[in-house]
Structure 1
Amino acid sequence: MNRLSVIALLFLIVSCAKKEPDLIVKTHIKGLKKGTVYLKKVKDTTFITVDSILISGNPEFELHSDIESPEVFYLFLNKNTNEDDAIAFFADKGITEINTTLKGFPFNAEIKGSKQQKVWEEYQNIISKLNNRNLELIKEEFEAKKAADSLGLNAINKEYNGLLKRKYLFAVNFALNNKDSEVAPYLALTEIYNANINLLDTINNTLTSKVKASKYGKRLQVFIDEIKDTEKSN
């Protein structure tokens, strides 16, 4: 075998051995001419960058990451100003496509990818309506205080407390009804982490074995065990 053949063979071996990324995020940001885009995730309550790209003219690009099980990632856009915008999405192994615009970066995002993303969007669609009503109540409260309307304030406070309870119960029921999705333990850890331990236990016990073995499934188990250990020591 001549030298060129050996080099070609070695190149072929190296190419075949190169590991494809677990997660590929194909992104198109209409109107973006210049800026830096970061792919991040949370580790120990802190954002860490797993990939980034400097954009100069081309609004279409890819970002990559390893991923062991479905989890939430964040697409950050630095527009060379003091502001950073972010898009959160639930990713799994494979391809996630994100299409958005520069002007409405975090709001106009259309995300196509994991089945967990579809479940999470279903949750967000309902919870966003409740959050919008919450904002309306804040405005109504301000106006009632300005007008010294005590009856109005009482009615607003009553609706506000009821709204909090609705959001809480919705998150609980959504987690219970989606026991086969990694979204369930994620919601338990982020939305209802301060729930009664028995309720968290119930959610945890309903999870499928696959979800229990996921990143958020394992973390929920650890979280529950820590709470129980703390209660025993008190």
Structure 2
Amino acid sequence: MRNLIPIIIALLIVSCANEKQHDLTVKGTIKDLKKGTVYLQKVEDSTLINVDSMTITGQKEFILHSDLESPEVFYLHLNKTNEDSDRKIVFFADKGTTEIHTTLKDFAFNAEIKGSSQQEKLEEYLKMMERFNDKNLDLIKTEYDAKAVNDSTLIEENQKAFENLLKSKYLYTVNFAVTNNDSELAPYLALTEIYDAQIKWLDTINNALTPKIKNSKYGRELESFINKRKNEQ
């Protein structure tokens, strides 16, 4: 028996060494979900791909994994059995563990996400975007009312208000990205929120990025995107 102990220890060491070390682990719970499949997804070459999945059959917790070169956006997608569903939670992940806790009924809206510093900054940005969206809805209502009574003056004023609101949203995004120039969120916002803005604004963000962020996935994509737009002019 004593002779077997060193062999058992050696086998355990080899087993632990061979166990795959994952860059990213996403775990959490979906309250009230009894059966379905959760997918971990990301965008690769402009295509949304599945990187991992897990079938839920009564267990409380899901665990998913992915390789990760640099912090980037992932999607947690729920495909509930016997239901045509397109439920996705968007989150910014970094190496390590991200926890997501949500409910079946309000899968995307009730999600509590704990993980990367990029995710915290993204949530801060999205809160401000909610204010812009609320103002935009108010302007849509005003436009509808103005057209109903054929008030050309109000229609024109409202159109200017739309343009000013859009400009304010873009400028806020530029300032937010520049302020967070040491975060992968900065080039991501440029690519997803203001990709159609004036090139000078995109350049402002790009030029402010730290060397590390410039060399990240979204940093390289932003540089390439700006060069493409300049060549098309």
Relative to structure 1, the CA distance from residue 163 to residue 44 in structure 2 (aligned partners, 3 Å threshold; closer, same or farther) is same
Match of 1:201 among 177, 181, 203: 203
Task: Give how far 1:158 is off.
Answer: 2.5
Match of 1:100 among 96, 99, 102: 102
Aligned 1:39-58 pairs, distance under 5 A = 39-58=40-59
Instruction: Tell me what 2:146 maps to.
Output: 144
Relative to structure 1, the CA distance from residue 199 to residue 160 in structure 2 (aligned partners, 3 Å threshold; closer, same or farther) is closer
TM-score, structure 1 as length reference = 0.89
Relative to structure 1, the CA distance from residue 31 to residue 165 in structure 2 (aligned partners, 3 Å threshold; closer, same or farther) is same
Looking at structure 2, the residues matched to 55 and 146 of structure 1 have their Cα atoms a distance apart, in angstroms, of 51
Q: Deviations over 1:88-124 (max 9, x none)?
A: 0000000111111111111111111000111111111
Looking at structure 2, the residues matched to 221 and 37 of structure 1 have their Cα atoms a distance apart, in angstroms, of 34
TM-score, structure 2 as length reference = 0.90
- Percent identity between matched residues is 57
Cα RMSD of the aligned pairs, angstroms, is 2.2
Q: Deviations over 1:199-231 (max 9, x none)?
A: 322211211111112111111122223334444
Task: Give how far 1:154 is off.
Answer: 2.9
Structure 1, unmatched stretches of 5+, are: none
Match of 1:211 among 188, 210, 213: 213
Note if 1:157 corresponds to 2:159.
Answer: yes
Instruction: Tell me what 1:128 maps to.
Output: 130
Q: Report how many aligned residue pairs link the two structures.
A: 231
Instruction: Tell me what 2:113 maps to.
Output: 111
Task: Give how far 1:177 is off.
Answer: 1.0
Do the aligned partners of 1:28 and 1:100 also contact (CA within 8 Å) in 2?
A: yes
Do the aligned partners of 1:31 and 1:59 also contact (CA within 8 Å) in 2?
A: no
Do the aligned partners of 1:41 and 1:72 also contact (CA within 8 Å) in 2?
A: yes
Moved over 4 A (4+): 2-8
Higher mean C-alpha displacement, 186-195 vs 38-47:
186-195
Task: Give how far 1:6 is off.
Answer: 5.7
- Residue identity matched to 2:18: A
Structure 2, unmatched stretches of 5+, are: none
